[in-house]
Amino acid sequence: MALTEWQQELAKMEYVGEAAAGLIKVRINGLGFPIAVEIDDGVFNSKDKQFISDVFVAACIDGIKKADAGVAEYMSKKLVEAYDQALYEKIDKGGLDGGYNN
């Protein structure tokens, strides 16, 4: 699988970061880009702009951490699959004589 195919798959993945018991939620794709923000109506009752800013940033950070963990797991699986495929292809070609001549 080419890198661009992996990037396309990552772009389709979604992770939700949230803060303040879900008052603000941020959806982030596997490439780390925010794609949507959900804001609870209760946030608009707050007159504290710093609170809203802090909660928004916390939700973004939470989403980025979740996306990073999900992407790391995905990439690990894809790399193992690619390694296994390369190994099987080498075996099929009669290779692997202990790795000394291949």
Instruction: Say if 56 falls within a structural domain.
Output: yes
The count of domains in the chain is: 1
Tell me the pTM: 0.71
Asked whether residue 78 is domain-assigned, the answer is yes
Tokens for 5, please give them: 């195919």
CATH code of the domain covering residue 61: 3.30.1310.10
For residues 40-68, average pLDDT: 88
Q: What percent of the chain has pLDDT over 70?
A: 89
Range of the domain at 54: 3-92
Looking at per-residue confidence, does 42 or 60 come out higher?
60
**pLDDT (0 to 100) of residue 59:** 94
Q: Note whether residue 59 is domain-resident.
A: yes
The whole-number pLDDT of residue 92 equals 75
Q: Is residue 81 part of a domain?
A: yes
Residue 101 domain flag: no
The pLDDT assigned to 70 comes to 94
Residue scoring higher pLDDT (31 or 102) = 31
Q: Is residue 52 in some structural domain?
A: yes
User: Per the structure block, which two tokens stand in for 90?
Assistant: 């080498």
